[in-house]
Structures are given as C-alpha cells and as structure tokens.
Amino acid sequence: MDDKSALIPVILSGGAGTRLWPVSRRAHPKPFMRLASGQTLAETTVERASRVASQGVTLTVTGRDYYFLTRDLYQQGAPETEHHFLLEPEGRNTAPAIAAAALWVESRFGEDACLLVQPADHLVRNVAAFEQAVTKAHALASEGWLTCLGIQPTHPETGFGYIRAGSAIEDRGLSIEAFVEKPDLETARRYVESGQYLWNAGMFCLRARTLLDAMAEHAPDILAGVRETWQASSTDQEPLELDSVRFARVRADSIDFAIMEKARKRAVVPVDCGWSDIGSWQAISELYETDALGNRVQGEGVLVDSRNTFVQGEKRLVAAVGVDNLVIVDTGDAVLVASRERAQEVKAVVDELTRQDHESAVFHRTVHRPWGRYTVLEDADDCKVKRLVVRPGGVLSLQRHEHRSEHWTVVGGTASVRVGDEEFDLGAGQTVQIPVGSLHRLENRGQVPVEIIEVQTGSYFGEDDIERLEDIYGRA
C-alpha cells in the first residue's frame, strides 16, 4: 500500500427518490430526508465520509438546486471538513459525474490520489466496519485496482445488482469475476446460499489515474466529453459549475456499465456494515423497533386494533382502525396509504402526479432557499401566506413584484429591511408593507433566525413574479 496516496471522498447526490414520495420529492430528494435520529442522510453521509478524508476535503457532485441546502447540512454534519462541490447542470448518470470528480481530484491532489465514491442517500449503521473496509479498499486502489465495496447480503434481495467474487487478493479483498444484473428471487436465493456473491452498493475506491485510464479504454467518448466540459468550465470557482452546453452532450451511462463491467483489474472488499439503500418505505420502517403488535409510529398516531403498520406523520394526527400491514406517510400536503409489500410502487403515484403536472410531485409546502426557507401556510385566490425563516447572514435578493403587495410581520429575530430607498430594522411584533412595484430586500444581520409571516395580496402569487435586481447567491 502506498501510504502517501490521498483519499478524497466523492459523494454523488442526485436522483429524485420517487420511491419515498411524499417525503422525498424532486425539489427535496432523499439525501434531505430526516431520519429518526434527527439527522438527514446527507449529514450522516458526509460525517462518515469526513472520517476517512485524508486531506480534510470532500467533493460532492450534485445539482445547483440542491447546492445551498446540501452545503448547510454538511456544515451540520462535518463542520471541520472542507467541502467542495461540482455542480452538474443536469444529471448524466454516474460515469460522467465520477469522471469529472476524477479530473477535479487529479487537478488538486495529483493523479495518484484516490476517490472514495459513495451515494449521498444510503445508510451505514456500523461506521467502524465501513472504515475498516475503506482502509483495505484504499490500499487496493492505490495499487491500481478498480475497487468496490461489496455488501454481505442478508437476504435474497431482487432489487440490487450482485458482484461475483473470485480469489483473494492477500487479506485485503477479492478479485471480481463478474457484475450481474438484478436477479429473480430464485437466482437471488442461489447467490446468497453460494456465499460467493455480494451486493453492489455503488461504493467505489478508485485511483484518479487508474479510473481515467480505464475510461480512456472503455468509454473514451464519455471521457472526451467530460474533458471538453472541464475545459469550458471555470474550474477554479467554488462551487464549480460544469459547462451546461458541453455537459449536456456527454453520453449518459453508469460507471458500472461504462467501466466496471469491462475493466480487468477489479477488486471487491466485502463489508458487513449495516448498510441500507433506504429504497422504500418498507426499508425505512425497518429502521424502527416495533411494538407488540408489529406497529411502528413516528409522529402522532392513534392505532386501534391495527397490526404491522408503519406510520410516519409530521404535524397532523394519523388514526388507524382495524388495519394490517400498511404504510401510512403523512406530509403537509399529501398522504400516502400503501400496502407494505407494495410500498415501492409509490413510483406509479409520482408518475401519475408528474403526468398531471401536480405540484406535489416536485415541491413541498416548505421550500429551501439559499437564505433560509419558507413554508406556504395558505395558497388561495385572494392571498398567499408564508412563514419565512431567514438564517443569520441570509439576504434575500433585491426584488420587486408586479402583481402583489407584501405585508411582513416579524415574529422572531431582527429583520433589516429595505423598502424603496428606506432602510430600517424591525423586531418581533413590528410590520411593514411593501406596495406593488416597490424595490425591497430583507436581510438577517443578527445571530438568530429572523421569522416572518408574509401576507401577499393582489391578483397573482406565482414564484415567477419576482424581478431580482441583485442577489448574493447569483440568481439575479
């Protein structure tokens, strides 16, 4: 093992997570889901990644829409680590994302540095076991092996791809004989019984140079497209936004298909680390202890003579009478009731909602913004009411609206407000009116969040009636 090779965790954070609707949505995907611990998956992932980050640096590949919230969550999950971001203008699957990450790592830490690639939205309960496996994988990667972490299967799962392992590579891992597609149940049973198969969890340890060489051999068009994108991007900016025109032309493909299935020097490190891809409500429910009747209740639930039922609520009460084997998930604007075994088919609901162009396929009532977040309390023909929470240091864009007046009542913190040419501070219980067409800006110069109830009056309340004149987040 080359003790000097750097290890840079690369977190891939995309994906709509439609199987966890109504909590996971396009504008609020799975990494942002909060677990029973109170942490989001993004936080636990970055915390885990930071423990093995040899240079105190992580790199995350994600979309612009997710950047600000991800950065904030990382600040919670791993405040001591330096977090860098590559922003994809659109998702092109994992091969282009990892290729771009390899270019980034190579440019910062040299071609011998290794990438530890992992998805942002998986759960690892035994972090020590994970770290031990990473140490082995890092050693293999440093020697030029394209290395996977392979999960010891606990049951004949038909939802994952499998890795068939071969002979041992010293005490560090096994060679890979083949990657195999999602099997049917009988095949999966055979795989598990054989002891020769591991789950492919999308976690890789790859030396930058090895990966780029393998791409040049097996997917030269993808590598060329990503290099072209790289050259057209401002690669010294933070976050680094990949050039949208070039990146859109790159062929979308997974790292598995593009490289791993074709490459020669491949290794797998088996690991039993309490891993879950949290791919369905069924999987979420299994994170909780059951009561005597097999029920699990997160939030406020009253269950009468009901069994094997998982309830996840937010603010509202969920009551069940005489039901069995259900998943009930309640959010501010939608409730899902599904048979446990069929819970992963919630994707069909999202497809239907997408077809209807239904807001609940994409947005929650709470929407995150670079400056904080807002929650829609009322959305009617004659008004819209929101609660705004502006983080310390948060600044809304200097803006105006053509079709609505706004009325702010501060309920917490001290808001620094500009309306027209006037600037002043407002504390709890104070109000201000912003007439149609008035330039205005809201800022939190204090140490605690500013909380505001905003009442919009007028004739049209769409988010597109915002003319931004200045914005510190680059949205003007």
Which residues sit at the interface with a second copy, rule CB under 8 A? 21-22, 302, 304-305, 315-324, 326, 328, 330, 332-339, 341-343, 345-346, 348-349, 352-353, 358, 360, 377-378, 380, 382-383, 385, 387, 405, 407, 409-412, 428-429, 431, 433, 451, 453, 455, 457-458
Q: Give yes or no for a contact between 208 and 223, defined as CB atoms under 8 angstroms apart.
A: no
Shortest Cβ distance from residue 442 to a second copy (Å)?
16
Select 81 or 312, whichever has its Cβ closest to a second copy. Answer: 312
Q: Smallest Cα–Cα separation from 221: which of 246, 196, 197, 244?
A: 246
Shortest Cβ distance from residue 380 to a second copy (Å)?
8
Using CB atoms within 10 Å of the CB of residue 308, give its burial: 0 to 12 exposed, 13 to 18 middle, 19+ buried. middle
Shortest Cβ distance from residue 310 to a second copy (Å)?
12
Select 139 or 328, whichever has its Cβ closest to a second copy. Answer: 328
Q: Is 420 helix (H, G, I), strand (E, B) or coil?
A: coil
Quote the CA–CA distance of 114 and 116 in Å, as a whole number. 7
Element of type H or E holding 276: strand 275-276
Shortest Cβ distance from residue 320 to a second copy (Å)?
5
Q: Smallest Cα–Cα separation from 41: which of 120, 118, 119?
A: 120
Select 38 or 429, whichever has its Cβ closest to a second copy. Answer: 429
Q: How would DSSP label each residue in 103-154?
A: HHHHHHH-TT-EEEEEETT-EES-HHHHHHHHHHHHHHHHTT-EEEEEEPPS
Cα separations (Å) of 281 from 152, 185, 277, 291, 345?
A: 22, 20, 11, 18, 10
Select 262 or 307, whichever has its Cβ closest to a second copy. Answer: 307
Select 6 or 455, whichever has its Cβ closest to a second copy. Answer: 455
Select 271 or 452, whichever has its Cβ closest to a second copy. Answer: 452
Give the full edge-to-edge strand order of the sheet including 398-400: 422-426, 415-419, 440-443, 398-400, 467-470
Quote the CA–CA distance of 465 and 456 in Å, as a whole number. 12
Shortest Cβ distance from residue 245 to a second copy (Å)?
37
Shortest Cβ distance from residue 90 to a second copy (Å)?
27
Q: Is 363 helix (H, G, I), strand (E, B) or coil?
A: coil
Scanning the structure block, which residue is given the tokens 């010891």? 152
Shortest Cβ distance from residue 139 to a second copy (Å)?
45
Shortest Cβ distance from residue 32 to a second copy (Å)?
20
**Per-residue DSSP letter, 40:** B
Select 148 or 336, whichever has its Cβ closest to a second copy. Answer: 336
Select 234 or 431, whichever has its Cβ closest to a second copy. Answer: 431
How many residues would you count in the chain?
476
Q: Give the contacts of 421 (CB within 8 A, at least 6 positions apart).
A: none
Select 202 or 413, whichever has its Cβ closest to a second copy. Answer: 413
Shortest Cβ distance from residue 358 to a second copy (Å)?
7
